[in-house]
Amino acid sequence: MTDSASRHPLEQLVFDEWPAAPRALFDGTSLASKTGFTASFLTTDANNSHVRTSLLGVGELYAPDSRTLCVALWPQSRAAGVLARSGRAALTFVCEEAFYQVQLQFEPLAAVPGDSSGLAHFIGAIDTGEAQRVPYARLTGGITFELEEGGAAVLDRWEQQIEHLKQAAAAARR
């Protein structure tokens, strides 16, 4: 007798370039329609003994091309400290009924003139990524959230943050 899992094996995609759906998710457009999406940004502490998670939304993530991801972080955050030291992080999220885990190598981006947000910007190259799903069960969501009263101000801030990430990423390519 076989069970459902043995008849329907894990579907796995390994990639070093963003597949279409995540690329569209991180393209920096239509942020209001993507509100609620949350990714787990995983780093390790200075001793590599503990994994730490930061939760990021679409207003803090921008993919300027098929192989990179820019992030905006508070400079005093643990994640920013790790990226400044080792540059290594992983991003996990759910998109189109699949679980994604992407390993990235980051470096700091130069400050953008006129950016008063106080955020630190980093650009990461995809080392390797995986998407997994099983045909007998659908992932219907990951970690999600709703904006409370004042959500319009958050969306405005996100638009500015993404614009600064775009400018920083463009400047890094010159």
Domain presence at residue 70: yes
Q: What is the pLDDT of residue 8?
A: 60
Q: What is the pLDDT of residues 98-132, one digit of tens each?
A: 999 999 999 999 988 888 889 999 999 999 999 99
Domain presence at residue 123: yes
Domain presence at residue 2: no
CATH code, 50? 2.30.110.10
Mean of the pLDDT values across residues 49-55? 91
Greater confidence (173 vs 96) lies with: 96
Q: What is the pLDDT of residues 138-171, one digit of tens each?
A: 888 888 888 888 889 999 999 999 999 999 999 9
Phi-psi region of 84 (alpha: psi -120 to 50; beta: other; left: phi over 0): alpha
Counted domains in the chain? 1
Whole-model pTM: value is 0.87
Q: What is the pLDDT of residue 1?
A: 44
Domain presence at residue 3: no
Domain presence at residue 120: yes
Q: Which domain holds residue 105?
A: 10-134+150-172
Quote the tokens at residue 74.
């508070």
Domain presence at residue 167: yes
Domain presence at residue 100: yes
Mean pLDDT estimate for the chain? 91
Q: Which of 43, 73, 67, 52 is nearest to 128 (CA)?
A: 67
Q: What is the pLDDT of residue 135?
A: 86
Quote the tokens at residue 97.
């009924």
Domain presence at residue 1: no
